[in-house]
Homo-oligomer: A and B are copies of this chain.
Amino acid sequence: MKVLLDLCVVPLGVGVSVSEYIAACQRVLKEAGLKHEMHMYGTNIEGEWDDVMAAVKKCHEVVHQMGAPRISTSIRLGTRVDKDQTMEDKIRSVKQKLSNPGV
């Protein structure tokens, strides 16, 4: 089962700036070999369910190891069995509708 997942990890108890923890999660995703793309409020990830979820768990482990006593994460995730859909497909589908408003 493939999954498209949007991950937002929020470390608590480490002050107001959290970018070094987010950077560490980017490294986890890169090392996992997963297709991923950071945006302003999270990181989109594409892959097999078990691989993606293992990376999410690893992010929590790494952020705790860096010293964050508590983490509150928000995730959106989508699966579908009617067709195979990539990150790019989702974006392209909306952009086509935007360029052909009459269709």
A52 to chain B, nearest CB (A): 11
A59 to chain B, nearest CB (A): 10
Interface flags for A25-63 (1: CB within 8 Å of B; 0: not) read 011000000000111111010000100010001001100
Q: How many copies does the complex hold?
A: 4
**Interface bin, chain A:** 35 or more
CB pair B94 A70 closer than 8 Å:
no
For the complex, what is the distance from the CA of A78 to the CA of B70, rounded to whole Å?
7
- Residues on B with beta carbons closer than 8 Å to the beta carbon of A49: 57, 60
Enumerate chain A interface residues (CB-CB to B < 8 A): 1, 4-6, 8, 10, 12-13, 15-20, 22-23, 26-27, 37-42, 44, 49, 53, 57, 60-61, 64, 69-82, 87, 90-91, 93-98, 101
